[in-house]
């Protein structure tokens, strides 16, 4: 249960972070191009999405494996 909850929590947190990153003044240079700050944090966000998804899937599979099988 914890791993599944962690996966869901990761998506909630990192979606909020991604929205805030996109709207940040530090994310964009004067000419409209992304800054190093944006690139680093975008990579961090993508990696966290992937890890949160993998952990959530592992948790979901564990929950399904605990259920009694129907005949």
Tens digit of pLDDT for each residue in 22-64?
Answer: 999 999 999 999 999 999 999 999 999 999 999 999 999 998 9
Alpha-carbon distances of 49 from 9, 16, 41, 69, rounded to whole Å:
10, 12, 12, 31
pLDDT surpasses 90 at 70? no
pLDDT for 29 equals 96
**CA 49 – CA 63 distance, rounded (Å):** 21
pLDDT for 67 equals 80
Helix or strand holding residue 55 (H, E): helix 36-66
Predicted structure pTM score? 0.79
C-alpha 55, offset from chain centre: 11
15-30 confidence digits (pLDDT tens): 999 999 999 999 999 9
pLDDT for 30 equals 94
């Amino acid at each position: 249960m914890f791993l599944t909850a962690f996966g869901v929590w990761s998506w909630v947190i990192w979606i909020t972070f991604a929205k805030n990153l996109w709207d940040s003044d530090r994310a964009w240079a004067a000419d409209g191009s992304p800054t190093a700050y944006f690139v680093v944090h975008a990579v961090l966000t993508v990696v966290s999405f992937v890890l949160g998804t993998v952990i959530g899937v592992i948790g979901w599979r564990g929950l399904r494996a605990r259920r009694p099988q129907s005949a």
